[in-house]
Structure 1
């Protein structure tokens, strides 16, 4: 009678799910799993911190639309992974986190690394469990994938005691689930769909706001068809950038503030009404606007603001229904007057930015840095953005044209996501440009993952906007407390380029605007993980994307 151990059952279950990569940091009891992964042809990406392992799994999920997988060690390994798990939870990402655990006889003895992982991860996962019986390992892994990918995506967690992994069982006792999950697309209530189209038809200034639900549903084609047929202007949340190309005449991302304030009918599709959308409330939105919300998660509908028409359903399915209904309506397609008004506002905003985008000032203006990156990147390049101030500049200056090609922290504002996301994106799309733009502050969180990129020959390009400060924080301090009151927010002009060179990558210092494009060309041509250390301006409040920071510009700061 043939036999199999628990580690091999984990690998077998992952292979069945089509997993190609596992992001991990080594330690007991991982080694049997590692040996099986290698034999099965599943790539092991070993990282420098467990947080990064989970963030890479999240980045891989966002780049592919498929669940990402991380494996971590017990105790501190799980604790280190928690921030990444939380980012997946609040960002609705399908990530399966697997972990080792002490042998069952060690439970409750204060053994090395022993702790109750489930109590820690339960608030941040849809489902979590410990496997106590070796023959049921595949069953538990199948549940983890089903829960992660059902409805609104979410992280899941399973841990495996060491003795459960090492136990050998008879093959005939093993539970191997079949046909245990399906990808369904729940359609919306037809009456609600008809009501929504009537409401959009009656509006003078309707808009569509598309969120990450469109991305996870793979609904970008349906969104584009709906917008183009109805001629309703559309803007996307940051996570959904590219689902409507930024240069499309019906994309109003550049004039989003005006669009949200003046819109009299708003269709939210897969967009949660969190702080990114001002909770859907005034003053960001017209208080008298009629609202329609489409979401696969019923609990999201009506959260934070009243919704006139709520449609529970998959974004792809419901957008198809909305398009079919719109084609029967005499008021569609609409004229382009409202769209033209928004495009004109967007052009004015772009023209205002050009003063800074073409600045030859030294230190380099960060808007100029973003502008040069935007002119260099391919249309399908993947951009990860990590930081505070640099994120704000990049949002307005660097466009996105294809879905899934723009990655930023999401609702948590987590720093340290840029390099892990970029590594995962390059693994998923080895033939596309992948660039991580980060602030020097955010580099400090997961900068050592450039070593991971070097060891695994993953040629991402990292551009560090190095202004030797926590920009948003120090600008606030200067405006409120005085120019010399920047306590706890000043950094140094560290040679990050030399750090990456020491790891075996390519590094270059950039100090003048005209050096940016040639440096980008050399970095991508190097074929190595590369770092461009770009020295940028500290004094940004004059042209900050934050009206609040502009209002408290140091020019008006008190003398101390």
Structure 2
């Protein structure tokens, strides 16, 4: 193929399955836009670079293939850093291509002249500059392969002006498939034996099980060993909600009483008490050496392809204990917790409490709806009350905890899943990071429903600070702001809800609207999520 550096880069990415580009316009990357037009790749543009990377990350997470964000030089790159970091924490194979000031005039003070690589390198699997038009294809191919190699993650290449604009001829060749790493069979067998022989075993499965497309193997494993299953992140939806081994609301009780806990495809981080499960033995199964926990010594720690590991776990034929008594005890705890949640989700209150919002929302969400969380307490309640029925239906910022993901994730989800309901759960604090991109959704005909929990405070900080110091600082927002009017002014629509009885009809109108529609729910600022996780 003969073409500019932009032509060659995009053609190589298309060979790896990239189907769309997310960007904010910049002159340093014009050849990449021209390539997209010539090669029939849709361009989705945004109002802030972080939204472009978040949108690309949503596509990568949902489709398990590489995705593309294109950033202009200098501030275009630095504006995307938090989103690149989020992709790194989530193991998302995002390819970020950036412009760069010309090499031949480097040091003379060109517009947006900045060496991006040392800035991006700590948060990307690979960060490099393409220095020769003849190397565009090989460098892009190598970067994509790095992004897809477990543990997956973002990669970054910047292309100086004379590289992206210059023409060259190069064969578009995609390298060999990413090598599958087989876990140590003895280590997997040790893990299986621990689970099978335990009296009170538990499995917790996370996002990397989805990334590995290993849900069938996970189900086979849980059923074969008869082990209760809990999930977090994109592990949610691993089993149908009515499956006898699917549990959600009794996790604290389970971890307090378990004698073996197998954590699969998710780190032993603050979300799981750093792997401190009392007297229980820990099994930690990860897809790459870099994810091995260093603060915990597991009783078994297989490392490698999760689908292979889970399939081998399921084939265990050794001695096993009876687990039905334990399963029944957990089911009793699950029913009690569910009954309490049902009561909370139906409760009348003035002002509205977040629990009631989710009680009404679940009535209108389709089984395959994609639900996105971007916020603090409001989204924590979503994790408590909403349980996806299928895999690939839940997106949240992940362990990096970066606010502002929501509008980008909603855009990416709508692009990747055009036939689904897309529902963004947005805190009013999080709205300040990216709500202008409602214009990007409206202009490009990308309808989503945005449910904004508007309590007028930074709830995640206000309530703990009040408990610690007896006062708060920098924790208040303006009460009752009309975020729905912002979306309306930007080309969408919306309304404000103050009464619980009005929630259902408002949600019906939102999903029927066919535009970005924000339901602005004024919620109780005194309602604090009962948080138990420690930051450190």
* TM value normalised by structure 1: 0.92
**CA deviations over 1:441-498 (Å, ceiling 9, x no partner):** 1011011111111011011100101111111222234444447x55542333211111
Shift of 1:104: 1.1
The CA distance in 1 between the partners of 2:243 and 2:40, in whole Å, is 42
Is the Cα–Cα contact under 8 Å of residues 426 and 458 in structure 1 kept in the other structure?
Answer: yes
* Residue pairs, 1:450-529, within 5 angstroms: 450-482=438-470, 485=472, 487-529=474-516
Is the Cα–Cα contact under 8 Å of residues 302 and 310 in structure 1 kept in the other structure?
Answer: no
* Residue pairs, 1:202-221, within 5 angstroms: 202-221=197-216
Shift of 1:252: 2.4
Is the Cα–Cα contact under 8 Å of residues 239 and 410 in structure 1 kept in the other structure?
Answer: no
* Residue pairs, 1:295-374, within 5 angstroms: 295-325=286-316, 328-331=317-320, 334-374=322-362
1:265 and 2:260 correspond: yes
* Residue pairs, 1:76-475, within 5 angstroms: 76-169=75-168, 171=169, 174=170, 176-178=172-174, 180-281=175-276, 285-286=277-278, 288-325=279-316, 328-331=317-320, 334-475=322-463
Is the Cα–Cα contact under 8 Å of residues 106 and 114 in structure 1 kept in the other structure?
Answer: no
**CA deviations over 1:221-275 (Å, ceiling 9, x no partner):** 1101111222100111233211233443212221111111211112221121111
Specify whether residues 129 and 175 from structure 1 end up closer, same or farther in structure 2 by C-alpha distance, changes over 3 A only: farther
The CA distance in 2 between the partners of 1:409 and 1:508, in whole Å, is 26
Partner of 1:19: 18
Is the Cα–Cα contact under 8 Å of residues 45 and 456 in structure 1 kept in the other structure?
Answer: yes
The CA distance in 2 between the partners of 1:94 and 1:260, in whole Å, is 32
Q: What residue ranges of structure 1 are gaps of 5+ in the alignment?
A: 550-560
Partner of 1:558: none
Partner of 1:545: 530
The CA distance in 2 between the partners of 1:515 and 1:412, in whole Å, is 35
More off after superposition, 267-276 vs 189-198:
189-198
The CA distance in 2 between the partners of 1:33 and 1:26, in whole Å, is 11
- Identify the structure with bigger relative contact order (alpha carbons < 8 Å, sequence gap 6+): 2
**CA deviations over 1:300-342 (Å, ceiling 9, x no partner):** 23422111112121111111111112xx23537x442111211
Root-mean-square deviation (Å): 1.8
**CA deviations over 1:126-163 (Å, ceiling 9, x no partner):** 11111111121111110110000011101100000111
The CA distance in 2 between the partners of 1:370 and 1:58, in whole Å, is 26
* TM value normalised by structure 2: 0.96
Shift of 1:400: 1.0
The CA distance in 1 between the partners of 2:136 and 2:290, in whole Å, is 32
The CA distance in 2 between the partners of 1:119 and 1:401, in whole Å, is 42
The CA distance in 2 between the partners of 1:468 and 1:399, in whole Å, is 27
Secondary structure, aligned partner of 2:451: strand
The CA distance in 1 between the partners of 2:287 and 2:323, in whole Å, is 31
The CA distance in 2 between the partners of 1:3 and 1:391, in whole Å, is 49
**CA deviations over 1:189-230 (Å, ceiling 9, x no partner):** 222222222222221101111122201100011101111222
The CA distance in 1 between the partners of 2:111 and 2:47, in whole Å, is 21
